[in-house]
Every structure is written in C-alpha cells, then in structure tokens.
Amino acid sequence: MEENRETTAIVFYSKHHRNTQLLVDAIKKRAPEVELMNINDMNMIYLRNYDRIGIASGIYFSKFAKPLMEYLKLHLPEGKKVFALYTCGSMSDKYTKEVKELAAQRNCEYLGEYSCPGYDTFGPFKLVGGVQKGHPSISEIQGAVDFYFSLDKKNK
C-alpha cells in the first residue's frame, strides 16, 4: 500500500444480478485497503473516518438505489471526496444527479464517475429475457478498477 493513498470506503447496493458488486469486488481485490459496505448487510462503517467515499449502485427507475441514498442522506459527512460507480440496463448521464446534489449539499468534492452496462431483467425487460446480457464484461470490470486508480493520479 502506498503511504500517501487516501483512505477509501465504498458504500454500495447490488441486489438483482450483483452487477455492481462485480465492480466493487474487483476494486477491493486490487486495493485491499478499500473498505466495502454493502447497504444490504448494514455493516456500519463510520464514513467520517475516510478521505474518499465511493457510492455504487445499480440503477432502479433511473436513480441510484433508494436504500443507499436514504442511508447517505443521513450519514454522508461534510467535506469528503466523493465518486460514483453504477451499472445500468441503458446508459444515461442523468443517473448521478441525486448523488451530485447530495455531495454539493455536504460540501463534498465530486471526483467523477464510472458506469457500464449491467444485465437487467427488471420490469418489461424480463419478458424478453433481459437486456445487456454478459455485462458487465471483463473489460468493463477492469474499467472500474482503472477508474478507481485514476483517482490517485487526480490528487497529485
């Protein structure tokens, strides 16, 4: 571990196909010092103890998961560096609107985001066997890891 690396926690919600969990697990494998907090497990991490906070989710009704955002509205500390990761059935740059607004309300520095397709069988997609089969791909998962490590370069 590099001495100057900032401490990082990634708070995530990954339920239906575990698409987002693939991304955060790959980051954890390459950066074991990263703390992962699955909002479904409710293993509480005091976020104020971290320099950077990742917010990761699948997209549900065009937004990050409601339980994740409700948790962060109560527990995201002031003045942290924040980044987002998400997987989705269809791409849009509007999905992080609520995350960016919350970060701004808490005077957090928004570092950026990484997104990729994720297998989706929600709602009408179930009738056709889902969309984005085979996603996230190995290269998309690696893209999340590369994005994470690029955050260190941005701070130098």
pLDDT tens series, the chain, 156 aa: 444 568 999 999 877 657 788 999 999 999 999 999 998 876 667 899 999 999 999 887 778 889 999 999 999 999 999 999 998 766 667 888 999 999 999 999 999 999 886 655 455 544 444 445 555 788 888 989 999 999 987 654
Residue 3 lies in a domain: no
Task: Please say whether the beta carbons of 56 and 141 come within 8 A.
Answer: no
Cα–Cα dist 149/145, whole Å: 6
Whether 25 is in a domain gets the answer yes
Residue 100 lies in a domain: yes
What is the reported pLDDT for 16?
64
Q: 2 lies in a domain?
A: no
Q: Is residue 27 part of a domain?
A: yes
For 123, other C-beta atoms within 10 Å of its C-beta total: 9
CATH of residue 108? 3.40.50.360
- Containing domain of residue 12, as a range? 8-154
Please enumerate in sequence order all residues whose Cβ is within 8 A of that of 77, keeping only pairs 6 or more positions apart, or say none. 47, 48, 53, 106
Query: Helices 138-154 and 19-30 sit at what angle, rounded to 10 degrees?
Result: 50
Residue 80 lies in a domain: yes
Residue 1, domain member (yes or no): no
Please report whether residue 16 resides in a domain. yes
61: left (phi over 0), alpha (psi -120 to 50) or beta: left
DSSP states along 21-44: HHHHHHHHHH-TTPEEEETTTT--
The number of folded domains in the chain is 1
- Reference 72, options 114, 115, 7, 11; nearest CA is 11
Structural contact between residues 101 and 108, judged by C-beta atoms closer than 8 angstroms: no
